[in-house]
């Protein structure tokens, strides 16, 4: 009996080879260029990967797949050797250029993608194809970006890889502490440290790509989607070493605050769709003055330095991130202690203290109480607004004490605008 799934997967493997082969064909400058593979070869390699994977499954062993991989590798090596013999180097130029090596590597990846498609991993294969197409097509951009990097930048990337890939996985993912206060999780604490460092690293990459002006405010948008507190800490610390970019740092921080309210609203609605209308005004209205003030800062900021990122210092600063991770843990410990020992009657006070460290934790807690214990929506709204005020004051304090002096006045105005609007809403709900 015919299995149409097999034909569908074979077609996917052929399509993968075809599209990668077409991209490679368009990189050849003229018809005389010689490369290890073209559109036909790539298509056949994708099909070969799927066929050998199918045979391996039918035979109950990996011999066909491994044999096919070795044969294709040997054919690529033979192609390079024959080309080297036929065309000796001239004027110090290499026989096989980087495009030839890149094409050979792409051939092997297409073979693996053909096998992956045969095993039904079509979504994963499509994602890899998209990444491959971008890498293969963005040759000039990637080389230009590499040229902008310094040795210190590479060292920063290595350090970040160490703290995120070599240290984080080995820390115990278990909460410690007195009964009821098990909030000291080494894995979570270090994850927050990695997160703060990661925001700075991603921001630095954006700055290298598009310049400090655009890079910083793009970092603010992305940081607000993840953690506006971590973003504020990182940009405030960076501003001391790059005070000339203080207006851009201020803009990025204020943008992250505005995005935080939108993100928090979406999280709450995702957890409980019935809260979409009650939370719309309390969580979205404070974002309006933040966005308006960010637009004012964007209009006011000087643009004469934004195209030059050469003087922007390296992003990797681990010690400040560790210090804030300790402070963050202490605040969370105090907030949980207030909740445990003061009881549910002190919900607003606990929310205020907890919001000083992290808004998401407060949101998860009060929504869980609303769903399981019937917490009134009015109290839930008040708890979230008080937590947001505390969070805004904390972030303003981070900028005031850790950031450049020139950021204090504009950030104070942003804190005042958001706090006044939120306090007005609190008064409205209390009355």
Kindly give the residue spans of alpha helices, DSSP state H, lying in 166-300.
186-210, 212-226, 228-241, 246-271, 276-284, 287-300
Q: What is the pTM of this model?
A: 0.57
Q: How confident is the model at residue 248 (pLDDT cuts 50, 70, 90)?
A: confident
What SS3 state is found at 176?
A: strand
| Residue 167 CB neighbours (<10 A) | 12
Query: Sorting pLDDT into bands at 50, 70 and 90, what band is 307?
Result: very low
Q: Quick one: average pLDDT of 345-349? A: 71
What's the confidence (pLDDT) of residue 209?
A: 64
Tell which residue, 217, 214, 296, 306, has the closest CA to residue 259: 217
> Average pLDDT over the chain, rounded to whole?
79
What's the pLDDT tens digit per position in 9-67?
Answer: 899 999 999 999 888 887 765 555 556 678 888 999 999 999 999 999 888 888 999 99
Counts of helices then strands in the chain (DSSP H, E): 18, 0
Report residue 358's pLDDT band, with 50, 70 and 90 as the boundaries. confident
The per-residue pLDDT for 239 is: 81
Determine contact, residues 27/136, Cβ cutoff 8 Å: yes
Within 215-259, strands assigned E span none
Tell which wins on pLDDT, 102 or 289.
Answer: 289
pLDDT for res 88? 61
Cβ atoms 403, 411 nearer than 8 A: yes
3-state percent breakdown (helix, strand, coil) of the chain, nearest 5: 80, 0, 20
Mean pLDDT of 167-190: 79
What is the average pLDDT across 215-228? 70
Alpha carbon distances (Å) from 155 to 1, 116, 162, 321, 339: 58, 35, 11, 18, 43
pLDDT computed for residue 304 by the predictor? 44
Q: What is the pLDDT of residue 315?
A: 52
Rounded-to-integer distance, Cα 285 and Cα 148, Å: 41
Residue 386, pLDDT above cutoff 50: yes
Task: Look at residue 305 in the predicted model and tell me its pLDDT.
Answer: 46
pLDDT computed for residue 234 by the predictor: 76
Residue 409 sits at φ, ψ, to 5 deg, of -65, -50
Average pLDDT over residues 358-370: 75
Q: Tell me the H-state helices in 272-376.
A: 276-284, 287-300, 318-342, 347-355, 359-372
d(CA 203, CA 215): 6
Q: ∠89-94-99 over CA atoms, to 5°?
A: 130
| Long-range pairs, 157-166, Cβ under 8 A, ≥24 | 157/201, 159/316, 159/318, 160/197, 160/198, 160/201, 160/316, 163/190, 163/193, 163/194, 163/197, 163/318, 164/194, 164/197, 164/198
Tracing tokens 């703290």 back to the chain, one arrives at 163
409-422 pLDDT, tens digit per residue, is 999 999 999 999 99
Higher pLDDT, 93 or 104: 104
What is the per-residue pLDDT for 324? 64
Q: What's the pLDDT score for residue 206?
A: 64
Find, among 236, 393, 255, 217, the residue nearest to 323 by Cα: 236
- Domain residue extents for the chain: 4-137, 147-430
CA atoms within 13 A on the CB side of 287: 19
Torsion of CA 73, 74, 76, 79, to 10 degrees: 180
Residue of 240 and 29 predicted with greater confidence: 240
């Amino acid at each position: 009996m015919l299995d149409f799934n097999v034909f569908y997967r074979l077609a996917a493997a052929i399509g993968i080879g075809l599209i990668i082969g077409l991209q490679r064909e368009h990189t050849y400058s003229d018809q005389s260029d010689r490369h290890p593979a073209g559109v036909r070869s790539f298509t056949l390699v994708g099909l070969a990967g799927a066929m050998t994977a199918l045979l391996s499954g039918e035979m109950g062993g990996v011999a066909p797949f491994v044999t096919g991989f070795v044969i294709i590798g040997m054919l690529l090596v033979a192609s390079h050797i024959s080309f080297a013999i036929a065309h000796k180097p001239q004027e110090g130029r290499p026989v096989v250029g980087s495009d030839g090596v890149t094409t050979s590597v792409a051939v092997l990846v297409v073979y693996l993608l053909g096998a992956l498609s045969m095993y039904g991993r079509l979504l994963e294969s499509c994602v890899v194809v998209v990444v491959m197409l971008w890498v293969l097509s963005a040759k000039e951009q990637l080389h230009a970006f590499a040229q902008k990097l310094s040795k210190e930048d590479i060292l920063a990337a290595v350090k970040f890889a160490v703290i995120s890939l070599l240290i984080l996985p080995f820390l115990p993912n278990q909460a410690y502490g007195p009964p009821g206060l098990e909030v000291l999780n080494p894995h979570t604490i270090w994850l927050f440290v990695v997160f703060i460092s990661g925001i700075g690293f991603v921001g630095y990459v954006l700055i290298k790509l598009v310049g400090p002006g655009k890079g910083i405010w793009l970092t603010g948008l992305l940081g607000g989607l993840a953690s506006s507190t971590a973003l504020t800490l990182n940009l405030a610390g960076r501003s001391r070493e790059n005070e000339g970019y203080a207006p851009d740092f201020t803009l990025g921080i204020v943008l992250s605050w505005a995005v935080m309210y939108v993100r928090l609203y979406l999280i709450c609605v995702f957890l409980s769709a019935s809260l979409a209308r009650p939370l719309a005004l309390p969580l979205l209205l404070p974002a309006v003055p933040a966005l308006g003030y960010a637009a004012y800062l964007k209009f006011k900021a000087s643009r004469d330095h934004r195209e030059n990122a050469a003087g922007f210092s390296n992003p990797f600063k681990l010690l400040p991130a560790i210090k804030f991770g300790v402070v963050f843990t202490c605040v969370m410990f105090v907030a949980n202690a207030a909740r445990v020992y003061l009881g549910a009657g002190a919900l607003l006070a606990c929310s205020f203290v907890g919001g000083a460290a992290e808004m998401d934790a407060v949101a998860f807690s009060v929504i869980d109480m609303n769903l399981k214990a019937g917490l009134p929506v009015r109290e839930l709204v008040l708890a979230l607004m008080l937590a947001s005020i505390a969070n805004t004051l904390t972030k303003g304090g981070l900028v005031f004490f850790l950031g450049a002096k020139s950021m204090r006045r504009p950030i104070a105005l942003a804190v005042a605008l958001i706090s006044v609007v939120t306090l007005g809403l609190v008064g409205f709900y209390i009355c």
